[in-house]
A = this chain, B = another copy of it.
Amino acid sequence: MKRIDLFVIPTELERASLDSRQVVVVDVLRSCTSIAVALLNGAAKIIPVKTVEEATRLHETLDPKTSLLCGEREGRKVSGFALGNSPREFTRKKVNGATIIFASTNASPLMAGPLSGRDQILLGYVNVSAVAKAVAEVGTDVTIVCAGRNGRFSLEDAACAGALIHRLTDRQPDLDLNDAATVARDFDVDHGTAPETILRRSEHGRYLVELGFEEDIPVCASIDTAPVVPYLKEGRIMAPATAEAGRR
């Protein structure tokens, strides 16, 4: 690994070359956190889709006993879906062994849209050290993409990307960083010991508190509490052990 590029808004990707790079997607509030928690709690796989309609159509083709419709619009659970996008909903009781169809506002349209066909690793604070280890082991240059919020810069995603970059530059201080990666790393150096404060300052965090999801904030801010590495490959997100089992 020689270089890390951070794109703080998905539209920046239009000008990026992603070939021969490990792509990392970050959405702290809340998709990547929920996905890591779901895999930790035994979900078999997670299929990100671009729209609620696509989720519903896909669900009709799968076994209703083992597949779950999950997703949100404007932070709220989609009507008729089994689960929303609060990581506290993704309990072992609910998700163990399940195939989860996942339709969120920012992350899943990015994963299944502009990044479709690319292998991706999904990042939140809950798995940042595990992702740092995995990315360092891959060894190629890294492109981190913030899901952002409705196409805009998102404090918590840039900050969490900074937490990953900080860990990677600690391992390898000579890494070349683009400007956004430099700012994000500095932000983690200066403020990264208190992710919950960062999330509470962010626009999305404040919005979730207003919606009644205040208890999600400490969950999404807790470093390394879901130490799994969600890999998105061929349209499905699995953790390595699960992926191995799936290949047998």
What is the interface of chain A, defined by CB distance below 8 A to chain B? 6-9, 11-12, 14-15, 149-156, 158-159, 178-180, 182-183, 186-187, 190-191, 201-204
Contacts and interface: CB of A to CB of B under 8 A. Distances in A.
* Total copies of the chain: 2
A187 to B, nearest CB: 6
Contact of A158 (B7, B178, B183): B183
A155 B158 CA distance: 13
Nearest to A14: B151
A7 B191 CA distance: 22
Contact of A203 (B14, B154, B179, B203): B179
A187 B183 CA distance: 8
Given A9-B11, A12-B153, 11 more contacts: A9-B9, A11-B12, A15-B151, A155-B179, A155-B182, A156-B179, A158-B183, A178-B203, A182-B202, A183-B187, A190-B190
A39 to B, nearest CB: 28
